[in-house]
């Protein structure tokens, strides 16, 4: 059974860089054709897809975040990562890593990690 | 972006009743519409894809319908574990977008 687990700092200062990692177990991120996404959810609010990486390594990002966002994959560690630069309070959210086998169907979710941007 | 509007925002029901949740898209999504359930403190769970296809392990009391811009998620005979927030999401237009959610609460 596939399991995704997010990790990273829970607190980031404004203007600094947020880095999160999603460790995948029960599956190989380099096998098959799958989509590995990051989705975030501000407290008490809805869901926002922010970007994804395909098994092939190709990436695509939400336009409003594209200039600050990088998603990468470490096949040797079976994990993928998110880097978001120049964060502000509006980046405060619960961040989920998600696997999909169909483009933009979000099938398997991690438990989420709360990231707060504050000085 | 394709804006998804869900209504009602809150639905108050008693166990055993039928829940009807709506999702309206600002642009046609054909049937590329997905429904998720999110219980308090948990990650969302995919319920229905392509407007009407139940995901593996999802009980038959959950059903989806619709095409184009108007969609419905129906929960027949709602059970205590079904009280949660439900989100719709479209994948027809890029970027994928989610609705604001409908909270189904116990009456």
Average pLDDT over every residue of A80-109? 95
Average pLDDT of the residues of chain B: 97
pLDDT score for A32:
86
The runs of H, that is alpha helices, within chain A are: none
- Asked if residue B14 has pLDDT above 90, the reply is yes
- Asked if residue A103 has pLDDT above 90, the reply is no
- Asked if residue A87 has pLDDT above 90, the reply is yes
Reported as a single tens digit per residue, the pLDDT across A12-53 is 999 999 999 999 999 889 888 999 999 999 998 999 999 999
User: How close B92 gets to chain A, by Cα (Å)?
Assistant: 9
> Could you give the CA distance from residue B74 to residue A54 in angstroms, rounded to a whole number?
33
pLDDT score for A104:
87
User: How close A76 gets to chain B, by Cα (Å)?
Assistant: 27
Average pLDDT of the residues of chain A: 95
Average pLDDT over every residue of B66-94? 97
Q: B50 to each of A2, A89, B67, B105, how far by Cα in Å?
A: 22, 35, 9, 26
pLDDT score for A113:
98
Residues of A in contact with B100 (CB under 8 A): 46
């Amino acid at each position: 059974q596939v399991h995704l687990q997010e990790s990273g700092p829970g607190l980031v200062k404004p203007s600094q860089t947020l880095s999160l990692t999603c460790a995948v177990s029960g599956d190989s991120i380099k096998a098959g054709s799958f989509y590995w996404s990051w989705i975030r959810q501000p407290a008490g609010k809805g869901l926002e897809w922010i970007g994804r990486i395909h098994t092939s390594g190709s990436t695509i990002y939400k336009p409003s975040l594209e200039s600050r966002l990088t998603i990468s994959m470490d096949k040797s560690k079976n994990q993928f990562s998110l880097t978001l630069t120049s964060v502000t309070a509006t980046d405060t959210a619960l961040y989920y890593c998600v696997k999909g086998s169909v483009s933009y169907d979000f099938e398997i979710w991690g438990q989420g990690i709360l990231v707060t941007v504050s000085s | 972006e394709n804006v998804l509007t869900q209504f009602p925002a809150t639905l108050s029901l008693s166990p055993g009743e039928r829940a009807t949740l709506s999702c309206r898209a600002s642009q046609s999504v054909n049937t590329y519409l997905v429904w998720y359930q999110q219980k308090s403190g948990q990650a969302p769970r995919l319920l229905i894809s392509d407007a009407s296809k139940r995901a593996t392990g999802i009980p038959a009391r959950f059903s989806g319908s619709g095409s184009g811009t108007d969609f419905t998620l129906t929960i027949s005979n709602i059970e205590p574990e079904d009280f949660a927030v439900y989100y719709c999401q479209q994948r027809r237009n890029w970027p994928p977008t989610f609705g604001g959610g409908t909270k189904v609460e116990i009456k």
